[in-house]
Amino acid sequence: MTLRIAHLSDMHFGGENTAAVAATFDHLVADPPDLTVITGDLTVAGAGAEFAAALAWTRNLTAAGVPLMLVPGNHDTPEMNVPLRLADPWGRWRAAFGRPDRQAYAAPGLQAVGFNTARGVQPRLNWSKGAVAQRQVRAAVDRLAQGAAGALRVAACHHPLVELLDGPMTGRVWGGPEAARRLAEARVDLVLTGHIHAPFAMPYPFGDGQTQAVGAGTLSVRERGTPASFNMIEADALEIRVGVLAWNGRALAPWMNWTFPRRQAPGG
């Protein structure tokens, strides 16, 4: 059995790449993956009209038979409305998409969870950076452990938990490396993230070295030296393949790819 997961991120509705977003929709609907994960920054500044556009797009996708799991990003709080941002940073998110933390999705052979690394306000100057509490990680690990033996375990959040050496920007996630270590020790297969607007895949240097950190690029016009893109991930019994489909101005075309051995059961 081959599982297929589409990994989209940083669509930034209000500043989306209209043609790339439309092509992505058509691609997903033509051959629906087992799950589509969007790892945050669905809006530019958490504005009501941006949430409405994001909600319309995601509703159309699920109506077309594409299962979806979403986590919020740092742009999904009301950036221009500081009183609201302080009082209820996730109110608009909740109204559109439900809970911003502890999302979960399960299907045969697949157990997925999402948690929120974005904060409305933080005790540091740059509120765009990430933070994760150990209780969030514990909840994610507990939920993933409910999956059947051999199920692909997928965690999703907005900020990369561990810094990329040559990434275009940083997440500086408080609690991030500890969370990555804990997820690796829990034998999570994939940790999907966004935020830096560039695709990547690499194993965490923790646990058995077989937990893959995977980043998706952006589908917005906020490109940082890379084209608009998203990831298609395939997992079978032996391998996990991460392929990037990039928008070249006319079509989606294969761009980068990585292949990792699938973690085998202990003694298996």
Give the interface with Fe ion as residue ranges (CB under 5 A): 10, 41, 73-74, 195
Select from 105, 90, 83 the least CA-distant residue to 40: 90
Closer to Fe ion by Cβ: residue 42 or 96: 42
Residue 57 Cβ vs Fe ion, minimum distance, rounded to whole Å: 16
The per-residue DSSP string of 178-190 comes to HHHHHHHHTT--E
Closer to Fe ion by Cβ: residue 16 or 189: 16
**CB of 114 closer than 8 Å to CB of 139:** no
Closer to Fe ion by Cβ: residue 42 or 151: 42
**CB of 159 closer than 8 Å to CB of 118:** yes
Q: Is 135 helix (H, G, I), strand (E, B) or coil?
A: helix
Residue 152 Cβ vs Fe ion, minimum distance, rounded to whole Å: 25
CB neighbours of residue 29 within 10 Å: 14
**AA identity, residue 4:** R
Residue 94 Cβ vs Fe ion, minimum distance, rounded to whole Å: 19
Label residues 124-161 b or e (16+ Cβ within 10 Å = b).
Answer: eeebbbbbbeeebbebbbebbeebeeebbbbbbbbbbb
Q: How far apart are CA 64 and CA 6, in angstroms?
A: 15
Closer to Fe ion by Cβ: residue 111 or 220: 220
Residue 229 Cβ vs Fe ion, minimum distance, rounded to whole Å: 13
Q: How far apart are CA 227 and CA 220, in angstroms?
A: 9
Closer to Fe ion by Cβ: residue 40 or 147: 40
Residue 230 Cβ vs Fe ion, minimum distance, rounded to whole Å: 13
Residue 54 Cβ vs Fe ion, minimum distance, rounded to whole Å: 13
Closer to Fe ion by Cβ: residue 54 or 144: 54
